[in-house]
Structure 1
């Protein structure tokens, strides 16, 4: 396991930093021009309203459920022992072309304002005529504040398969792209399938759940689950990645070894968090959608946004949980003696259709700002990016009519890379990053 601070590396030189935060990409005319039909200004979500009553905060309580160590160890032994993140990166078999080498349709999905500083499109094998779509992103900048995992800069992108289209065996599954980001000009990646141990570690099944939010903290990866699921979050261990031994469509133990629908690597869940008051619902606990990490709190905290329809008018909730400071519980939430995790802060927002959330306190500021990336109400075209706090809300604006439809198409989650000052996110077709300073500039 990687210990905090163990792998701190000397900061890269000015040349690399200049590459990472360099000149913003020139977008195509298709991306920079928004039609009048798309440019209607959305209702201002206004200031955040704190939620402090037990009736509100009690619904956010989670109950921790950890998979027994003997179950995980039995599975590991049967599969030949775990491998590390390095093994996945070293076997990367796909590349992420830079924006200049991507199609105009791909580039048109990028934010209009602020413009992306770096952007990449996925291998056509993963985007052409498939039912898979990218939904969540997190990085080694979340995992450790030095920005690297071992010796590598890594981006993890979560993808979800449609529950209604595509090959039946894949419907509803979730996978993670392990992206080697050591060289910003040459990104490469490899897939791993998310699975859940069953039968005491003698087998596993695919995680049949939408992944709309994902945070890598310490050696743990926390992901959201499908709305209405009994579990709110699943937990994965980046020190427990396993190789499969059989190539085939089955998932789990098969004659001759282990299979995962053709994937060479699997991550078995090591635990989950369930709302103590029952499955999420509009009248009960909020269904978590986007997730983010905030290193500006003590201890660091996991932030979440409620998943609501972009066309609805139901207010959404934003809240946070503290991470445990116990080294024996690295990457897990802080809990009481009964394994319960309570929200340490919660708000209500009038923003709907939130698909990305980030909480960040500027140096010298008296309160944190919450950044929310929203889908457009019609779910076509560009979404909006708003910054909210308990005093007001500001939006990124673009075009002659000052539209707030300036963010990415099919926007995904947000991840702040503290070491470089970048925010990473996803459109429905591309992976991109931009300096947080540029995002703030567009909002100010």
Structure 2
């Protein structure tokens, strides 16, 4: 199949010390460049404003729709027994690179302050064209608080295809990289295409949407969907990954079996969440720009940040839903008897262009801090990472002019791995992690 490694892999095995040394040199150069070219300090978005009115909270209510078990069963019987994440990892056919194995432009996309502890660029086979772009990350540390999922330590990265360029059949599609994080020197990965069952499980289509955020919680993967759909979130089951059997550009049932544009695995959706008031972007309902998991709440919660254009003067919303603890509802949101999930906390922020959100309450603290990754007003360049709460805002500064544009270029979602203390994210070129304690030190 065309996505199963028809390329010569570069030599593996660079020492981690050399990896980080190379990254540090590139980051130093990037800091100098940014310091010289950007002298303006961003507008401070100020403290978070709590939202409490029933009307404001009602706009955030979601309606759950689960795919009927019969539909999923019919698809599984036709395609063969579903597999788990371990099977996908064992067939990994790509390798992440680090240090000198990555181009200088890759390193320049990384945060300047705080500096990443780990940073990887993608296999050359996946960066030949700019049509596919990463935008989200989640880890097995989200899935299970002890860190691994079963025997595997993993990172999942969500990529979306351009809606205007590249092969017509691939436009708007979404895929997930399953990264084996057991070896930090040379992580390997394998792709799976996100799909949606159709015709009662007799076929499937590709998910056509920009995936700007992902959370892997228990056995479910929740992804944002904001393009070509009224649904706010799609839900996938990590125990329901299906193998394809035919290598062709088609997606779905084909003569002789099942195809997915050359991908060896597909993940069929098992449910959706849609704003009950209206479609996202209409009549007050927000379009989620990023999501993350917060394990510092009881129960664990799903955190969301609203997407607004980077030059918008409209306040964006940050809010959360509780996860369900009911039997048989692993990885799903807490809902009422009508299947509605209500936000349990919500705020407004003056930060616009949000492309990453994280909430965390330190032990002994009386309130949560919200970390918000913000795109710049311009079309390119480093972003800003804010830490906000109801008392005020802080941002890292870098360079001699103390610019606040120190965060990643083309910033993506944020994922906190509680066991290791690392925050994982992506740029449009690299996968990286920064210790949360380093983020807090840089924010003062």
CA distance in 2, matches of 1:190, 1:32: 33
Aligned to 2:7: none
| Aligned ranges 1:24-43 → 2 under 5 Å | 25-28=23-26, 29-33=28-32, 34-43=34-43
Give 1:30-429 correspondences, 5 Å limit. 30-33=29-32, 34-227=34-227, 229-281=229-281, 283-429=283-429
Q: How far apart in 1 are the matches of 2:106 and 2:341? A: 41
Distance 1:388 1:130 in 2: 33
Check the 8 A contact 1:27/1:112 in 2, yes or no.
Answer: no
Q: Which residue of structure 1 lines up, in the alignment, with residue 12 of structure 2? A: none
State the distance in 2 between where 1:126 and 1:281 align.
Answer: 32
**Are 1:132 and 1:159, in contact at CA under 8 Å, matched by a contact in 2?**
yes
Mapped to 1, the partners of 2:78 and 2:243 lie a distance apart of 11
In 2, Cα distance between equivalents of 1:36 and 1:98: 27
Instruction: Give deviations 1:347-366, integer Å, cap 9, x for gaps.
Output: 00000001000000111111
Q: Distance in 1 between matches of 2:308 and 2:434?
A: 26
Distance in 2 of aligned mates of 1:292 and 1:440: 18
Which residue is equivalent to 2:9? none
**Which whole-Å CA distance do the structure 2 matches of 1:227 and 1:70 have between them?**
28
Give the whole-Å Cα distance in 1 for the aligned partners of 2:360 and 2:22. Answer: 22
The farther-off stretch of 348-357 and 273-282 is: 273-282
Distance in 2, matches of 1:190 and 1:199, equals 28
Deviation at 1:290?
0.4
Q: Is the 8 A contact 2:208 2:228 kept in 1?
A: no
Residue 25 of structure 1, CA deviation = 4.4
The separation in 1 between residues aligned to 2:112 and 2:39, in whole angstroms, is: 12
The alignment partner of 2:333 has SS state of: coil
Contact 2:178 2:191 in 1 (8 A): yes
For the aligned residue pairs, the C-alpha RMSD in angstroms reads: 1.5
Moved over 6 A (4+): none
CA deviations 1:19-60 (Å, max 9, x no partner) are 9xx999414144222154434211101000000001110000
Gaps of 5+ in 1: 1-17
Distance (whole Å) between structure 2 residues aligned to residue 325 and residue 24 of structure 1: 45
1:50-88: CA deviation from partner (whole Å, max 9, x where unpaired): 000011100000000000000001101111110010010
Structure 2 CA distance for aligned equivalents of residues 187 and 73 of structure 1: 34
Q: How far does the alpha carbon of each residue in 1:246-265 deviate from its partner, in whole angstroms, 9 at most, with x for none?
A: 00100000000000000000
1:314 to partner: Cα distance: 1.3
**Contact preservation (8 Å) 1:24, 1:117:** no
Measured after TM superposition, the shift of residue 379 of structure 1 is: 2.6
